[in-house]
Structure 1
Amino acid sequence: MIRIDDPDDPRIAAYRAVRERDVVGRGERFVAEGEVVLRLLLGDSSRHQAESVLIAESRVAGLEPLLGAAGHVPIYVASPAVMDAIVGFHIHRGVLAIGRRAPAEDAAALLARLPPRALVVALVGVSNHDNVGGVFRNAAAFGADAVLLDGASCDPLYRKAIRVSVGASLVTPFARGGSGWELLDALADAGFTTFALSPSGELTLEEARPAARTCVMLGAEGPGLPHALMARATTVRIPMAHGFDSLNVATTSGIALYRLARGA
């Protein structure tokens, strides 16, 4: 473990001003926050690699077994005050890590390597970090094989998205880029039946019967999925009480995945 007493120490430059640098992106690197997320990042199921860890000195004893298994990853330790000065705000969990992304994969390549029976989620224009993190958490919880995101959707490795996903975006395969129409093309070419979730869906979720390869497609809250996009898919709605016509997109994903994962 490497003691850090100076917030300007060049060895921890990657952690400096975390919030501002998250806004502009970090290229090949990302920031992971919290003990649960760190365990996944350092675990065998992570698709990405830890580059370094920065923890508050008060967390060292409790994390010693985990940190001992980190191999050659540098572990930086600082007082809470120095850690806060480094990152630019109070990190009450006292655990941060810098990760390096796995090589990017496009939707067609990702779908091609999935098993004959597969369940995936596709997001179009979902730019809210909390919603993307929530969708990834649900995808992992209900056994989805992958998540596809168009280029307008939030990066699943944004710090807040990782945190909300409880690390699920570190272990769930995903591809991000292109348009919703390009995602639909890739899904069709790979033999997927796509269910587009919308309050105006032609089928209820109970009526929808999953195929061997099924995709749940979701749009942003408010505008939802473009009508031209839904015209190329089977539209599905979740019936609800009179006076309410929609749910949070992450909540919708959980209900739809639970139903379709069961094959009911």
Structure 2
Amino acid sequence: MADIISITDPSDDRLRLYRDVKDRDLTGRDGLFMAEGKVVIERLFRSPWCFCISVLTTSERLKTLDISQAGDVPVYVVEQAVMDQVAGFAIHRGYLALGRYAGPAGLGEVLKPGRARVLALSAIANTDNMGGLMRNAAAFGVDAVVLDVACCDPLYRKAIRVSVGGVFQVPHVRVPNLIEALAEQGLSPYALSPSGTVALDEVVPGMRSAFLFGAEGPGLTAEVMAACTTVRIAMHGGFDSLNVATTSGIVLYHMCR
């Protein structure tokens, strides 16, 4: 059961990792991250890949937070003014939580034999796009997300918020070479391209498939594209591409059914 602890002093050392969260991110510090918002934090409580270390909220907000699955984490309860002072800005959602990622060290640890659907990302540096991609991965039942070294951390505070906690539902791993990592797991790679050789609605994905997306603008490298089946989405009005998160939603809906 969660341990409810009232705190009145904004300088209390138990709140030190919540200080000035607007100006910094906790990623890179022993796997720590900061989550905000009721829905996001409740997803954190239920996550098989992340665990909650503590929660910061107000007495009024605590009444609506489902802490039944929070375990024995400390829940620090403060006045709204104290919360805003500690965080360095107004916390309109009224909830913050400190967590740690405890996901798999490699892709082989999470994929089971047989059917597998993987989202593979290259050079996704925009946190909004990363959050949208992680949300779609969770919504369409992707088994894992693979990131190359040029991707931003999916556990940046803004990426977590945009994902609506979806990042807590899908394990992610970082690899030095996407194509090699996918091949080691017997995954057939598909890459989106305006000049793709096959239309999306004609694709019948293999039993074990991975869907690759690159940054908006440069997209995937020629080397990566050459190793994949390239897929196009039919469009009108002279458009040949969409936002990467939007595109992933269309593709994952088709490929994960």
RMSD: 1.7
Shift of 1:70: 2.8
1:58-79 CA-partner distances (Å, limit 9, x unpaired): 202222xx23553321110111
1:148-178 CA-partner distances (Å, limit 9, x unpaired): 1111112111111111111111120110242
Alignment counterpart, residue 187 of structure 1, candidates 143, 167, 182: 182
State the match for 2:198 in structure 1. 203
Alignment counterpart, residue 30 of structure 1, candidates 29, 33, 40: 33
- In structure 2, distance between residues paired with 1:93 and 1:5: 20
1:49-98 CA-partner distances (Å, limit 9, x unpaired): 111000023202222xx235533211101111110111111110011100
State the match for 1:125 in structure 2. 123
State the match for 2:86 in structure 1. 86
Query: Does the 8 Å CA contact 2:50/2:99 hold for their aligned counterparts?
Result: yes
Structure 1: gaps of 5 or more residues:
none
Pairing 1:218–2:213 present: yes
Structure 2: gaps of 5 or more residues:
none
Query: Does the 8 Å CA contact 1:114/1:145 hold for their aligned counterparts?
Result: no
Alignment counterpart, residue 10 of structure 2, candidates 7, 10, 27: 7
Alignment counterpart, residue 23 of structure 2, candidates 20, 32, 40: 20
State the match for 2:74 in structure 1. 74
- In structure 2, distance between residues paired with 1:197 and 1:219: 9
Alignment counterpart, residue 137 of structure 1, candidates 126, 130, 135: 135
% of aligned pairs identical?
52
Shift of 1:133: 1.1
Shift of 1:132: 1.1
Q: Calculate the TM-score normalised by the size of structure 1.
A: 0.91
State the match for 1:166 in structure 2. 164
Query: Does the 8 Å CA contact 1:201/1:237 hold for their aligned counterparts?
Result: yes
1:14-51 CA-partner distances (Å, limit 9, x unpaired): 101112221774332111111111111112x4311111
- In structure 1, distance between residues paired with 2:120 and 2:180: 12
Give the counterpart letter for 1:12 in structure 2.
Answer: L
- In structure 1, distance between residues paired with 2:129 and 2:197: 25
State the match for 1:58 in structure 2. 60
Query: Does the 8 Å CA contact 1:29/1:101 hold for their aligned counterparts?
Result: yes
Q: Secondary structure at the match of 2:202?
A: coil
- In structure 1, distance between residues paired with 2:69 and 2:137: 28
Query: Does the 8 Å CA contact 2:122/2:212 hold for their aligned counterparts?
Result: yes
Report how many aligned residue pairs link the two structures.
254
Query: Does the 8 Å CA contact 2:148/2:174 hold for their aligned counterparts?
Result: yes
- In structure 2, distance between residues paired with 1:40 and 1:122: 23
1:86-139 CA-partner distances (Å, limit 9, x unpaired): 1111110011100122055123x346x333111110000001111111111111
